[in-house]
C-alpha cells in the first residue's frame, strides 16, 4: 500500500514537471503548475496568486482519464488564457459591493439621504463591474479564442494543425461525457462546435494554399513561346522575286 502511494505521488510529480516544460519560455519564470487541493474542482484552471504570479491548478484524478495529447492541448488552452489575460482576478468589486450594501443599510437606520445615495451608487458601480466580468458571451468568446491559440501553441511544439485540432476536439468530447454539471457541459459543447467551425476554415485555407502552389507548375512561364514565334518567322519561306524574261524576249 505504501509503495503504491509512493509510486502514485512520484507519477503526479513527474506529470507536473512535464507540464512545466510545455510552457512557452516567456511564461516559465512566473507561471506555476500545481495539483489542486479543492473538493470537486474543475479539471484545470488558472488563478492569479500574486501581482506577477499565476498558478495553473490541475485535478490530477480527472487529468489521468485523458490521453497525453488531450492533456497537452487542454494545458495549452489554459496557457493561452494566461497570454490573453482573461483569467479571473481578485478585484475591488466584491469588497466595494459589500461596503456599499453595509453602508446603505446603516444609512437607512440613520436616515442620512446623501450618504445613502453614495452607498447605493457604490453598489451600482461595483455590481455593474461584476456583471461585466461574469458576462457569459464574453467569457465564452474568450474560451473560443483560447482554443484557437492553443492549436497555434501546439504547432510550436511539433504538432501538425490537423492533429492539434483532433486532440483538442477529442479532449472536449471526453469532458462532455465526464461532466455532470449541466452548465459546464454546455460550455464544453459550445467550445466543441466553435472548434469544428475553426477546423473547417483551417482545412479550406490549407487546400487553397496547396492549389495555389500547384497552379504555377502546370502553367507555362510567361513569354515562353515568344522565341519560338521569332524562329518560326525566321524559318518561314521567303518570297521569290518574279522570274526575268528570257534573253530572247528582251532582244526582240
- Mean model confidence pLDDT for the chain: 79
Quote the pLDDT of residue 95.
67
Q: Is pLDDT of 200 > 70?
A: yes
Tell me whether residue 242 is in a domain: no
- Which is more confidently placed, 98 or 77? 77
Q: CA 185, CA 194: separation in Å to the nearest integer?
A: 14
Tell me whether residue 221 is in a domain: no
Quote the domain boundaries for residue 123.
2-202
Tell me whether residue 244 is in a domain: no
Tell me whether residue 214 is in a domain: no
Tell me whether residue 9 is in a domain: yes
Tell me whether residue 252 is in a domain: no
Tell me whether residue 49 is in a domain: yes
Count of domains observed in the chain: 1
- Which is more confidently placed, 50 or 199? 199
pTM for the structure as a whole: 0.71
Tell me whether residue 230 is in a domain: no
pLDDT in tens, 78-122: 999 999 988 766 555 566 667 766 776 676 666 667 777 777 777
- CA separation (Å) from 169 to 78, 89, 147, 165, 183? 15, 28, 10, 6, 19
pLDDT category of residue 245 using cuts at 50, 70 and 90: very low
- For the segment 211-238, the average pLDDT, to the nearest whole number, is 50
Amino acid at each position: 500500500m505504501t509503495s503504491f502511494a509512493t509510486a502514485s505521488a512520484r507519477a503526479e510529480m513527474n506529470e507536473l514537471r512535464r507540464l512545466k516544460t510545455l510552457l512557452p519560455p516567456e511564461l516559465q519564470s512566473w507561471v506555476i503548475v500545481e495539483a489542486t487541493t479543492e473538493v470537486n474542482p474543475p479539471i484545470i484552471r488558472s488563478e492569479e496568486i500574486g501581482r506577477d504570479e499565476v498558478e495553473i491548478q490541475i485535478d490530477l484524478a480527472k487529468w489521468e482519464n485523458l490521453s497525453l495529447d488531450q492533456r497537452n492541448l487542454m494545458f495549452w488552452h489554459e496557457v493561452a488564457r494566461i497570454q490573453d489575460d482573461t483569467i479571473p482576478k481578485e478585484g475591488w468589486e466584491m469588497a466595494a459591493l459589500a461596503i456599499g450594501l453595509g453602508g446603505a443599510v446603516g444609512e437607512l437606520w440613520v436616515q442620512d439621504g446623501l450618504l445613502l445615495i453614495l452607498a447605493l451608487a457604490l453598489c451600482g458601480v461595483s455590481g455593474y463591474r461584476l456583471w461585466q466580468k461574469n458576462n457569459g458571451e464574453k467569457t465564452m468568446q474568450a474560451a473560443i479564442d483560447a482554443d484557437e491559440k492553443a492549436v497555434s501553441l501546439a504547432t510550436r511544439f511539433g504538432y501538425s494543425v490537423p492533429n492539434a485540432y483532433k486532440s483538442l476536439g477529442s479532449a472536449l468530447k471526453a469532458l462532455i461525457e465526464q461532466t455532470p454539471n449541466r452548465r459546464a457541459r454546455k460550455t464544453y459543447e459550445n467550445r466543441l462546435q466553435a472548434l469544428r467551425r475553426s477546423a473547417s476554415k483551417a482545412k479550406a485555407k490549407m487546400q487553397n494554399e496547396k492549389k495555389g502552389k500547384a497552379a504555377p507548375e502546370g502553367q507555362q512561364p510567361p513569354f515562353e513561346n515568344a522565341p519560338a514565334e521569332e524562329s518560326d518567322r525566321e524559318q518561314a519561306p521567303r518570297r521569290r522575286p518574279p522570274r526575268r524574261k528570257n534573253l530572247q524576249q528582251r532582244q526582240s
